Structure 1
Amino acid sequence: MTGVPLAEELLLLAYDDETGKSTMPRISLDLGMAAAVLIELALAERIAYADGTLTAVDATPTGEPVTDDVLARIAADPPHSPSNWVQRLRHGLRDSILGELRDQGVVREVEETELGFIHVHRYPALDPSVKADTHQRLVSALTGAAPDERTAALATLVVVLRMESTLGATDEAAERARRRLSEIASGAGFTGEVSLADSVVRPSVGLVVAALGRAVEAALGPRS
């Protein structure tokens, strides 16, 4: 694997650099973490989508601890649907990924007590350049630059999880961002509106992203 894992990129987008707190509902982000790790495995050609299920096609570790833990679980289990996997995996992934980012020096962990007895953890940024690079790739895609396979997958997760505001867009700008992100997902074949043969991504990746996008959208319910 090369570059920053998708789950780490998604998590950094969702956390405020200064306060170190998530700007998203917990359930949305946890589902997104699970989908991002599964997409990472598809990008690495470790899992595939067929007959309504996700299965391991290569159990060779990628070298990324959180991703490899999930790969080992998939390889050891019978096939399950994308919806089943995102629900199975979403618990605990956030803490594991935050721990990786802390150990890498990207964020620092701050433990505090609220109301005298509630323990909370914040993760302010130590190295904002990682998030800045992710943000810039998405902004470039929003302004018309053709995204690569990884960026197209990340853009799809952002729109599925309703994270347009994490890109600094509000009101009408957020709606324009949502439309552009949806166009990217469509152009990559992730929505079924464009043939995977004409997509900028490998068909094997497109199938996984499309299936996971549907699973997360179903779990979150209609967009308000």
Structure 2
Amino acid sequence: MPALLLADDFWFCAHDDVSGRCRLGPRAVGSGLAAALLAELVLAGGVDIENGEVVVVENRPPGEDVARAVFSEVAGEREVRAVREWLRYLGHHAYARVAHRLLRAGLVRSRSAGFLGRSTVYPPVDVNVAAWPRARLGLSVPGRPRWADVPIHDVVLSGLVVATGLYPVVFPDAPASTRDHVDGLVARLPRPLRALVVDTDTAMGVAVLHHRI
């Protein structure tokens, strides 16, 4: 299977493997994708999270188009902004950006849907590729009790899956202890990645409280 970027993996977890229909509401999927895009920059060494704020640590932008666009927005901001502000802001555009990246990569196609074709869905080109991120997490995370045995990429992805409400979809048959196991893995992430997952979870809690999800 092709190795996908974190936001691409989250996209496929959040969408039906065949129809391409999203399993989440706009706020949840936008926040999850925004967090994943920021995590890509953290993993690439472009940004860090300090005291709950996103700070640039590398002046050279990433090579990938979407990552470069997100990095440029963060680097171009005059004031240092909190993670939650960036999740809210980037969440408005993250869906379209990741969809475009997947279209360019030939991993999804676009199709008109809804009343009079006014909405767009993105069915996967290869069902196996679309199902792999979810299947990989479902197989590997519950069966690997040690933190060191689970790739950081998959720990972050699992944390975002839980934060956005995708846990029953990704881990439908996992032991009851799996949720606590994921929480334990996230707790041992490097500080900036842990902060992204925690702030995404907090943002979802606030959205539910105000009926915005």
How would you bin the TM-score normalised by the shorter chain? 0.7 to 0.9
- Partner in structure 1 of residue 23 of structure 2: 23
Partner SS for 1:107: coil
Mean Cα deviation higher: 209-218 or 128-137: 128-137
Partner SS for 1:23: coil
Alpha-carbon deviation of 1:168? 5.3
- Alpha-carbon separation, structure 1, partners of 2:165 and 2:178: 10
- Alpha-carbon separation, structure 2, partners of 1:162 and 1:18: 20
Alpha-carbon deviation of 1:213? 2.2
- Partner in structure 1 of residue 99 of structure 2: 98
Alpha-carbon deviation of 1:174? 7.7
**Structure 1 contact 164–174 (Cα < 8 Å) conserved:** no
Q: How many residues align?
A: 202
Alpha-carbon deviation of 1:176? 4.2
1:165-188 Cα distance to aligned partner (Å, 9 max, x none): 232506xx48544233223213xx
**Structure 1 contact 156–181 (Cα < 8 Å) conserved:** yes
**Structure 1 contact 30–91 (Cα < 8 Å) conserved:** yes
Task: Tell me the TM-score normalised to structure 1 length.
Answer: 0.81
**Structure 1 contact 165–174 (Cα < 8 Å) conserved:** no
Task: Tell me the TM-score normalised to structure 2 length.
Answer: 0.85
- Partner in structure 2 of residue 14 of structure 1: 14
**Structure 2 contact 12–134 (Cα < 8 Å) conserved:** no
Task: Indicate the percent of aligned positions where both proteins have the same amino acid.
Answer: 24
**Structure 2 contact 20–123 (Cα < 8 Å) conserved:** yes
Structure 2: gaps (5+ residues): none
CA RMSD of aligned residues (A): 2.3
**Structure 1 contact 106–128 (Cα < 8 Å) conserved:** no
- Alpha-carbon separation, structure 2, partners of 1:101 and 1:166: 22
- Partner in structure 2 of residue 221 of structure 1: 205
Match of 2:160 among 135, 154, 157: 157
Structure 1: gaps (5+ residues): 191-205
Distance verdict in 2 for CA 1:95–1:175, change over 3 Å: farther
Alpha-carbon deviation of 1:81? 0.8
